[in-house]
Amino acid sequence: MSDTNTTRMPANIRHGSSIGQPLTRRDGLLKVTGRARYAADNHPPGMLYAVCAVSTISRGRVTALDVAAAKAHPGVVEVMTPANRPAVAHDPDEKSGMFDFKLDLLQSDHVRYANQPIAVVIAETFEAAVEGATLLAPRYEIETPRVGLDAGESFAPPVVGVGLPTETHHGDIGAGLAGAAHRIDATYETPAQYHNQLEPHAVVAVWDGDNVVIDTPTQGLGIMQDRIARLLDIPHENIHIRSPFLGGGFGGKGLVAGPQLLGIIAARMVGRPVKLVLPRDQMFGMVGHRAPTRQKLRLGSDADGHLTAIEHHTHTASSTYDDFYEAAAEIAHVLYASPNIATAHTAVRLDTGTPTFMRAPGEAPGSLALESAIDEMAEACGMDPLAFRLANYAETDPISGKPYSSKALRECYAQGAARFGWAGRPLASRQTRDENGLLVGWGMGTATYPAHMFQGKARAVIRRDGSGLVETGAHDMGQGAWTALAQIAADGLALPMDRLEFRAGSSDLPDAGIAGGSGHTATVGMAIHNAGAAVIARLAELAMRDERSPLFGAGNAGLAARDGRLHRLDDESRSESYSEILARAGLDEVDGSGTGAADEATHEAYAMHAHGAVFAEVKVDPDLGQIRVSRMVGAFAAGRIINPHLVRSQYYGGMIWGISFALHERAIIDPRTGRPMNTNLAEYQVPVNADVPSLEAIIVDEVDPHVNALGIKGVGEIGITGSAGAIANAVYHATGIRVRQFPISLDRTMSAAA
Ligand code: MOS
Confidence check: pLDDT of 91 > 80 = yes
Q: Which amino acid type is present at position 102?
A: K
Q: Which residues line ligand 1 (CB under 6 A)?
A: 249-251, 357-359, 361, 516-517
Instruction: Check if the beta carbon of residue 280 is closer than 8 Å to that of residue 266.
Output: no
- The mean pLDDT of 128-149, rounded to a whole number, is 98
Give distance in angstroms: CA of 716 to centre of ligand 1.
8
In this structure, which residue's CA is closest to atom 3 in ligand 1?
516
> What is the chain's mean pLDDT, rounded?
95
Ligand 1 site-directed mutation target among 357, 453, 475, most atoms within 8 Å of CB = 357
Quickly state the pLDDT bin for 6 (edges 50, 70, 90).
Answer: very low
- The mean pLDDT of 588-598, rounded to a whole number, is 97
- Ligand 1 atom closest to the Cα of residue 253 is 4
Q: Which of 230, 197, 229 is nearest to 39 (CA)?
A: 197
Give distance in angstroms: CA of 6 to centre of ligand 1.
26
In three-state form (DSSP H/G/I as H, E/B as E, the rest C), the secondary structure along 458-500 is: EEEEEECCCCEEEECECCCCCCCHHHHHHHHHHHHCCCCHHHE
Strands (E) located in 73-229 = 76-80, 110-111, 117-123, 139-142, 159-160, 164-165, 168-170, 182-190, 193-194, 202-208, 211-215
In three-state form (DSSP H/G/I as H, E/B as E, the rest C), the secondary structure along 572-610 is: CCCEEEHHHHHHHHCCCEEEEEEEECCCHHHHHHCECEE
Give the C-alpha distances (Å, rounded to integers) separating 703 from 50, 187, 289, 349, 405: 51, 38, 35, 44, 9
Q: How far apart are CA 521 and CA 356, in angstroms?
A: 22
Contacts of 751 (CB under 8 A, 6+ apart): 625, 737
- The mean pLDDT of 103-120, rounded to a whole number, is 98
Ligand 1 site-directed mutation target among 326, 453, 717, 718, most atoms within 8 Å of CB = 717
pLDDT tens column, 660-692: 999 999 999 999 999 999 999 999 999 999 999
Predicted local distance difference test score (pLDDT) of residue 226? 96
Predicted local distance difference test score (pLDDT) of residue 556? 55
Q: How do strand 341-350 and strand 307-319 relate by DSSP bridges?
A: parallel
Is residue 349 helix, strand or coil? strand
Q: Which residues are catalytic?
A: 717
Quickly state the pLDDT bin for 219 (edges 50, 70, 90).
Answer: very high
Q: How far apart are CA 230 and CA 38, in angstroms?
A: 26
- Ligand 1 atom closest to the Cα of residue 250 is 4
Give distance in angstroms: CA of 517 to centre of ligand 1.
5
- Ligand 1 atom closest to the Cα of residue 517 is 3
Is residue 700 helix, strand or coil? coil
- Ligand 1 atom closest to the Cα of residue 358 is 2
Confidence check: pLDDT of 748 > 90 = no
Percent of the chain topping pLDDT 90: 94
Q: Which amino acid type is present at position 224?
A: M
Confidence check: pLDDT of 237 > 80 = yes
CA end-to-end span of the chain, whole Å? 38
Give distance in angstroms: CA of 483 to centre of ligand 1.
19
Instruction: Check if the beta carbon of residue 90 is closer than 8 Å to that of residue 35.
Output: no
Instruction: Indicate the helix (H) or strand (E) that contains 365.
Output: helix 363-380
The residue that leads in pLDDT, 557 or 324, is: 324
pLDDT tens column, 252-264: 999 999 999 999 9
Percent of the chain topping pLDDT 70: 97
Ligand 1 site-directed mutation target among 223, 250, 715, most atoms within 8 Å of CB = 250
- Lowest average pLDDT, out of 45-59, 171-185, 509-523, 558-572, goes to 558-572
Predicted local distance difference test score (pLDDT) of residue 557? 59
Predicted local distance difference test score (pLDDT) of residue 9? 33
Q: For residue 743, is the peptide bond before it cis, meaning its omega torsion is within 30 degrees of 0?
A: yes
Confidence check: pLDDT of 230 > 90 = yes
Q: How far apart are CA 700 and CA 705, in angstroms?
A: 16
Q: Which of 188, 159, 184, 396 is nearest to 311 (CA)?
A: 184
Give the C-alpha distances (Å, rounded to integers) separating 252 from 77, 120, 218, 552, 698: 30, 22, 9, 53, 28
Give distance in angstroms: CA of 335 to centre of ligand 1.
21
Interhelix angle 363-380/723-735, nearest 10 degrees: 40
Ligand 1 site-directed mutation target among 359, 479, 661, most atoms within 8 Å of CB = 359
Q: What is the DSSP letter of 391?
A: H
Instruction: Indicate the helix (H) or strand (E) that contains 543.
Output: helix 520-544
- Residue 61 has phi, psi (to 5 degrees) of -145, 145
Contacts of 166 (CB under 8 A, 6+ apart): 156, 157, 158, 159, 160, 325, 344, 345
- The mean pLDDT of 52-71, rounded to a whole number, is 98
Instruction: Check if the beta carbon of residue 204 is closer than 8 Å to that of residue 42.
Output: yes
Residues in the chain: 754
In three-state form (DSSP H/G/I as H, E/B as E, the rest C), the secondary structure along 259-271 is: HHHHHHHHHHHHC
Is residue 330 helix, strand or coil? helix
How many other CB atoms are there within 10 angstroms of residue 703's CB atom? 14
Q: Which amino acid type is present at position 462?
A: I
Give distance in angstroms: CA of 223 to centre of ligand 1.
15
Q: Which amino acid type is present at position 38?
A: Y
How many other CB atoms are there within 10 angstroms of residue 392's CB atom? 22
Q: How far apart are CA 493 and CA 470, in angstroms?
A: 9
Instruction: Check if the beta carbon of residue 740 is closer than 8 Å to that of residue 372.
Output: yes
Give distance in angstroms: CA of 514 to centre of ligand 1.
9
- Residue 447 has phi, psi (to 5 degrees) of -110, 140
Q: Is 29 exposed, middle or buried (0-12, 13-18, 19+ CB in 10 A)?
A: exposed
pLDDT tens column, 473-487: 999 999 999 999 999
Quickly state the pLDDT bin for 16 (edges 50, 70, 90).
Answer: low
- The mean pLDDT of 343-350, rounded to a whole number, is 98
Instruction: Check if the beta carbon of residue 31 is closer than 8 Å to that of residue 208.
Output: no
Quickly state the pLDDT bin for 5 (edges 50, 70, 90).
Answer: very low
Instruction: Check if the beta carbon of residue 4 is closer than 8 Å to that of residue 701.
Output: yes
- The mean pLDDT of 720-748, rounded to a whole number, is 96
How many other CB atoms are there within 10 angstroms of residue 556's CB atom? 9
Rg (CA), the chain: 27
- Residue 440 has phi, psi (to 5 degrees) of -115, 135
Predicted local distance difference test score (pLDDT) of residue 753? 53
Confidence check: pLDDT of 15 > 90 = no
Give distance in angstroms: CA of 449 to centre of ligand 1.
12
Quickly state the pLDDT bin for 2 (edges 50, 70, 90).
Answer: very low
Say what the pTM is.
Answer: 0.96
Q: Is 401 exposed, middle or buried (0-12, 13-18, 19+ CB in 10 A)?
A: exposed
- Ligand 1 atom closest to the Cα of residue 514 is 3
- Ligand 1 atom closest to the Cα of residue 518 is 3
Strands (E) located in 578-725 = 589-596, 609-620, 627-637, 695-699
pLDDT tens column, 405-422: 999 999 999 999 999 999
Q: What is the largest CA-CA distance in the chain?
A: 89
